[in-house]
Amino acid sequence: MILNALRAREAHAIEQAAQALRAGDLIGLPTETVYGLAADANNPAAVAKIFKAKDRPADHPLIVHVAQASEVGHFASEVPPFAQALMSAFWPGPLTLILPRRPEVAAVAAGGQLSIGLRCPSHPVAQALLKRAQALGVQGVAAPSANRFGRVSPTTAAHVALEFPKTETQDLLILDGGPCEVGIESSIVDCSRGVPVLLRPGGVSRTALTEVLSACGHPLVSPEQAAQASTQQAPKASGTLTAHYAPRAQVRLMSLADMQAAWLKWAASPKGHLALYVREKPDFLPFDVVSGVHAVKVFKMPDNADASAHCLFADLRRMDEPSTVEIWVQSIPLSAEWEGVADRLRRAAA
């Protein structure tokens, strides 16, 4: 059941969803990044429903969403100064921080780890729900992306409804907050090992993170640099598996020149329907193929990195028709602003 939470943000939709969370049920939650499958983070039975519904490994941690930075102390045993600086700069927003976890809270949501991922979303519907749920005693909401594990993330309420028409015997209550503004998941910075480590690029760019961290004397480091400098094991984090965000059809990343060479082989012996996701017109295709007569469809990728991130998952879903066997994606620029999109495409193609 989809409730229009944009139109009824202050009315029954938020109240109904908050009551569902308090009762231990799952809901579909809009955020500025992607839609989440949400449950009370401190209710082990409710969180277990998320893992079951998604078919997600129980040791793969979930991100816990809070309404404001002051709630971090409920979950984290320590918040280093550089983590405070990141919260001040980017919360509410598309940034997740991994912090040492207080042992008595959210163990199931954390996948049994001694750390926990925390985020304060900026979406007005998410904010309204988190605040109302907190008033009802729900302190923090675990909410991984509302899709089957490893598949393309949802950026509209309709995507969530297609993924989860039911959870066990109940219709899933989904708050419709409109299309997600950012369109890819949050950046994840590990703050649990004494240095800030970028584990996943996302809605906050590396450049923006580096600027804030450099100002407080803590440069952003890579996972490889952190491993060399510390004996502590890196925490697991959402969305960091080699293969992830994948449509049913095989995704292949290639330059336009490589695409042309691949097309010559494909045209000689087609394997099925093909989708091309390109920023430039593929002039090597005859016009009738471009128009779809020969079961090849061409989709335009935006030239701007933010616009590309916004529509990436929705476009992958559009291209992933039952008859499509491969999706060819034109290589994207190597600049830092494209890093989040590049990460999602690389994992989708793995």
Judge whether 235 lies within some domain. no
CATH number at residue 303: 3.40.50.11030
Number of compact structural domains in the chain: 2
Which one of 229, 262, 277 terminates a domain? 229
Judge whether 244 lies within some domain. no
**CA 280, CA 226: separation in Å to the nearest integer?**
39
User: Does residue 316 sit in the same domain as residue 198?
Assistant: no
User: Does residue 34 sit in the same domain as residue 134?
Assistant: yes
Which one of 196, 229, 262 terminates a domain? 229
User: Does residue 199 sit in the same domain as residue 257?
Assistant: no
Task: Give the tokens for residue 260.
Answer: 């042309």
pLDDT of the residue at 168 = 58
Domain extent for 38? 2-229
User: Does residue 95 sit in the same domain as residue 137?
Assistant: yes
Q: Are the CB atoms for 67 and 130 separated by under 8 Å? A: yes
User: Does residue 181 sit in the same domain as residue 296?
Assistant: no
Which one of 229, 262, 292 terminates a domain? 229
Judge whether 237 lies within some domain. no
User: Does residue 8 sit in the same domain as residue 77?
Assistant: yes
User: Does residue 221 sit in the same domain as residue 281?
Assistant: no
Other C-beta atoms within 10 Å of 125: how many? 25
User: Does residue 284 sit in the same domain as residue 147?
Assistant: no
* Closest residue by Cα to residue 55 from 186, 147, 192: 147
Judge whether 21 lies within some domain. yes
User: Does residue 145 sit in the same domain as residue 274?
Assistant: no
Q: Are the CB atoms for 122 and 249 separated by under 8 Å? A: no
pLDDT of the residue at 65 = 98
Q: Which residues contact 206 (CB under 8 A, 6 or more apart)?
A: 198, 220, 336, 339
pLDDT of the residue at 293 = 45
Q: Angle at CA 114, nearest 5°, toward 108 and 118?
A: 70
Residue 75: C-alpha distances to residues 72, 119, 155 (Å): 6, 11, 28
User: Does residue 213 sit in the same domain as residue 268?
Assistant: no
pLDDT of the residue at 128 = 95
pTM: 0.92
Judge whether 242 lies within some domain. no
Task: Give the tokens for residue 343.
Answer: 């990460």
Task: Give the tokens for residue 168.
Answer: 């066990």
Judge whether 133 lies within some domain. yes
Give me the DSSP letters along 188-243.
EEE-SSSS-EEEE--SS-HHHHHHHHHHTT---B-HHHHHHH--SPPPP-TT-SSS
pLDDT 10s per residue in the chain (350 long)? 776 766 645 578 999 999 999 999 999 999 999 999 999 999 999 999 999 999 998 889 999 999 999 999 999 999 999 999 999 999 999 999 999 999 999 999 999 999 999 999 999 999 999 999 999 999 999 999 999 998 999 999 999 999 987 665 568 999 999 999 999 999 999 999 989 999 999 999 999 999 999 998 999 987 777 776 666 777 777 777 777 888 999 999 999 999 999 988 888 887 788 999 999 988 888 655 554 545 788 999 999 999 999 999 999 999 999 889 999 999 999 898 999 999 999 999 98
Judge whether 319 lies within some domain. yes
pLDDT of the residue at 287 = 56
**CA 114, CA 117: separation in Å to the nearest integer?**
11
Q: Are the CB atoms for 188 and 202 separated by under 8 Å? A: yes
Beta bridge partners of 40: 141
pLDDT of the residue at 200 = 94
CATH number at residue 214: 3.90.870.10
Judge whether 243 lies within some domain. no
Residue that is written with structure tokens 């020969």 in the block: 294
User: Does residue 147 sit in the same domain as residue 100?
Assistant: yes
* DSSP 8-state symbol, 101: B
